[in-house]
Amino acid sequence: MMRMKLGNELDVPVVGLGCMRIWDKPISDVERLIATSLELGIDFFDHADIYGGGRSEEVFAQALKNLKIPRDKVIIQTKCGIRSGFYDLSKEHIISSVENALKRLDTDYIDVLLLHRPDTLMEPEEIAEAFGYVHSKGYVRYFGVSNFNSMQIELLSSAVQHKLLTNQLQLSLTNTGMIDSGIFTNTKFHQSINRDGNVLEYCRLKGITIQAWSPFQYGNEYGNIQGTFIDNPLFPDLNLKLEYLAQKYSVSKEAIAIAWILRHPAKIQPIVGTTNPERLRKIAQATEVELTREEWYSLYISAGNMIP
């Protein structure tokens, strides 16, 4: 597995494994998934306190213990800030979230902590104090955000002294809003609507790594996840193009979909959420492919997009 620098600082694999769906799996299945992931060189595991109500972190910790995998052989990222019916990025909640995550993960430290969603009531100075506290205690090594736009990151950075390594955002062949608005600049097409403050270009300028969540999923106009586009009859042109390129490069369709993300010069890290070890092997083939510029755009168009 190829590696990259998260936020130009932390060495990570170019693909990470999301652990949202492991919370209700048999522990033996989770062990097999983790073992396969590490065998493939994917030692980066993405969590959140709301995944299975914290159960995903607990199951993961138990699987690591059963497999006798040393803590320093894995990179653990988790998130906080989403509560039942509201968001909470208060100092007290961030600190208590970290302390509770450490217990569930059965670890002394978290490699990367992300603020899961922007809280419009957030006080940057409070967050700075929370980050300073958990870092000084050795609880958290690095920090980042998730689903933040450019100015929200600027606001946060006005007080927070720690570098924000990453911004986790939804991106897939069928969820390309952050790309569309740049391609359609200076037009009246609806794709030119800038919904997130040029977050793609902003993160590139600031050295913030974008992590792509749900890289195989499509959603409705409100962003609600509907399912995967792989082998989905709703996306015939896209699947024909994926199949053509998969045969050309002797890899899977899943690998081509991830190679499309990896081809972008922003050096985006896809976070894949499969719980199937064999599918993870197929996904890992993405690093064997470097799509041409023409192939990249042909996939973009086959997904239902256009260029002006």
Q: Cα-flanking dihedrals φ and ψ of residue 261, to 5°?
A: -70, -45
Q: What is the DSSP letter of 154?
A: H
For residue 305 the two structure tokens come to 């997009």
Q: Cα-flanking dihedrals φ and ψ of residue 267, to 5°?
A: 55, 60
Question: Which of the residues are catalytic?
Answer: 51
Distance CA 210, CA 43 (A): 18
| Helices and strands (H and E) in the chain: how many | 11, 14
Distance CA 263, CA 290 (A): 6
Residue 14 CA neighbour count, 13 Å, CB half? 23
Q: Cα-flanking dihedrals φ and ψ of residue 164, to 5°?
A: -90, 115
**What is the SS3 assignment for 179?**
helix
**Residue 112 contacts residue 77 (beta carbons within 8 Å):** yes
